[in-house]
Structure 1
Amino acid sequence: VTLREVWRQGTEFLRRAGVKTPALDAEVLLRHLTGQSREEFYRDLPLPWLQDSDLRWREMLNRRASGTPVAYITGEKEFYGLTFQVTPAVLVPRPETEILVQRALELFQEKRLPPNAWVLDIGTGSGAIAVTLAVNLPKIQVTATDISVDALAVARANARRHQVQARLHFETGDLWPPEGSAPADGLKFNLVVSNPPYIEAEQIAQLSPEVRHEPTLALDGGPDGLSVYRRLISGLKKYMLPQGWVLLEVGADQADHVSELLAAAGFKVLPPVLDLAGYPRVVQAKEG
């Protein structure tokens, strides 16, 4: 049996199970098993498949067919060109969130933020946002919070993996760092970023099987999906330095609501950043 035939069978198995991207998922799982790059994988398609991985391959396919996200099976996910460790304790990093990272980096390129800024990442999860910013901005200091100790363990591992642990400060807290935990300056920040839970509570049951495998805590935005934004925005002022910026990822139809909350809290709201489909995805606001 060739590698191509194994890939074809795996693709067919996942397609019958209703997986949306069966060929891609089968390829990623196979490459994880063989340790091959994409180039090596395509080069070796005509070669014989080594049967000794058969059992693990079938186990991976079964997990994927039952709705487990690919990233939880392989234990990693690519985000903004970096590879992140991922476990079921954290949300799988999404391409939409790269838009928030991109916008944050632009604020530094445009000199709207100082190169040695203090950044707060609220609800850091896998640490994807915090670590990516630290890797790309060599002088910033990042405080990253999460209510989940298990999530913070993953974020810490990712900071070490990308060698930015010296500039990342992880704090267990419900949105905010615990009092007295953190750096100088009375704990104020030039930039606050967050991808908070924003799905309406009753919609969680209707989500795809993949998403239902992810931590509910990271998804549940309360009855109208805005509960966490309300708490976050109402507490924001005391953590902001003058001229500081706020970037918040939002769900497809939430930009107006979140912008109103920020305006009501005394922030200067700018037009939201759109995603590739043209939906407002990141709400941005300025202090003062």
Structure 2
Amino acid sequence: MTYKELLKKGYDEISKNNLEKNAAKLFLMKYSNKTYNEIILNYANEVTKDVEISFLNAINEYINKKTPPQYIINEQDFYGRTFYVDENVLIPRWETEELVFHVIKYIKENFKGKTLKILDIGTGSGCIATTLALELENVKITATDISEKVLSIAQKNSERLCANNIEFVISDLFKNVKDKFDIIISNPPYVKDNEKIGECVDKEPKTALYGGILGVDFYDRILKEVSHYLEDKFLIAFEHGFDQKILIKNLIKKHLKDVKIKEIKDSSDKDRIIFIEGD
């Protein structure tokens, strides 16, 4: 079977099951060890039997078990780098890339010439902490998660990508955090408990998805304690659900005084990021 025939077979099987057909492209790139451009250049060439078998097995798992493609290949790209992921961690998404982009931009504009201490709460795969460590100079990053297994994955990613300035701490939010920070960033669980999600998303860890009846329980908990862990000049940066802005703003006003609130939309023009500034 040629590359073109195999890819078409994958597209057709996935489309018949109303799933995302681009998964076929991810699988063929992974198992052939080729870029998509290289696959196109090899369209007329025969694939090896090993590649064909691995590809078709992945297609079957995706269709029959609804396993997210990223878990099948144990990879997800984030901010130009490839991160290891499995069923223990949330799959990094483009919305979180935008959160990181805006935080990096803010730091470069507002914290020039200072060594910054950054706290990443609920680090998951470590994509936020590792990206900040690699994109910024003069930063000391603490990344926390409640799960030792999850934290080991975050550490694995940081080591593989040579992000050496991160301390990993097992902690339920601030429980084992001792320092004060210039920047606190978090993409906490924010799916509402009764919200319907896709079959593939449902395979992701529930502890990384659900945030209570209104989806804002973790914001409430973080904001209730956060003042004890902030330097005089600080930024708190949250990703949130598109319909949670007002709820989170009310929590900010409940727990924090004399702060500035900045709302940022994502590239789909949905409310997605809140900055809380203090000086």
TM-score range, shorter chain: over 0.9
Q: Which residue of 1 aligns with 2:216?
A: 226
Q: Which residue of 1 aligns with 2:192?
A: 200
Alpha carbons of 1:152 and 1:115: their partners in 2 closer, same or farther (altered >3 Å)? same
1:68 is paired with a residue whose SS is: coil
Distance 1:5 1:99 in 2: 36
2:140 matches 1:141: yes
Q: Which residue of 2 aligns with 1:262?
A: 252
Query: Taking every aligned residue pair, what percent have the same amino acid on both sides?
Result: 29
TM-score (norm 2): 0.95
Alpha carbons of 1:113 and 1:223: their partners in 2 closer, same or farther (altered >3 Å)? farther
Q: 1:138 Cα deviation (Å)?
A: 2.5
Counterparts of residues 34-183 of structure 1 (less than 5 Å): 34-65=32-63, 66-112=65-111, 115-165=114-164, 167-178=165-176
Q: How many residues align?
A: 277
Distance 1:276 1:86 in 2: 25
String of CA shifts for 1:105-141, please: whole Å, max 9, x gaps.
1112213465410000000000000000000012101
Q: 1:156 Cα deviation (Å)?
A: 0.1
Q: Which residue of 2 aligns with 1:16?
A: 16
Distance 1:148 1:227 in 2: 18
Q: 1:55 Cα deviation (Å)?
A: 2.7
String of CA shifts for 1:11-36, please: whole Å, max 9, x gaps.
101111210x31x2101101100100
Q: 1:53 Cα deviation (Å)?
A: 3.0
Aligned 8 A contact 2:6 2:52 in 1: no
Gapped regions of structure 2 (runs ≥ 5): none
CA RMSD after TM alignment? 1.4
Q: 4+ residue stretches of structure 1 with deviation over 3 A?
A: 112-115
Distance 1:2 1:266 in 2: 61
Aligned 8 A contact 1:31 1:38 in 2: yes
Letter of the 2:168 partner, please give it: F
2:271 matches 1:272: no
1:242 is paired with a residue whose SS is: strand
Distance 1:131 1:32 in 2: 23
String of CA shifts for 1:32-51, please: whole Å, max 9, x gaps.
00100122111111111222
Gapped regions of structure 1 (runs ≥ 5): none
Alpha carbons of 1:52 and 1:85: their partners in 2 closer, same or farther (altered >3 Å)? closer
TM-score (norm 1): 0.93
Distance 1:100 1:274 in 2: 10
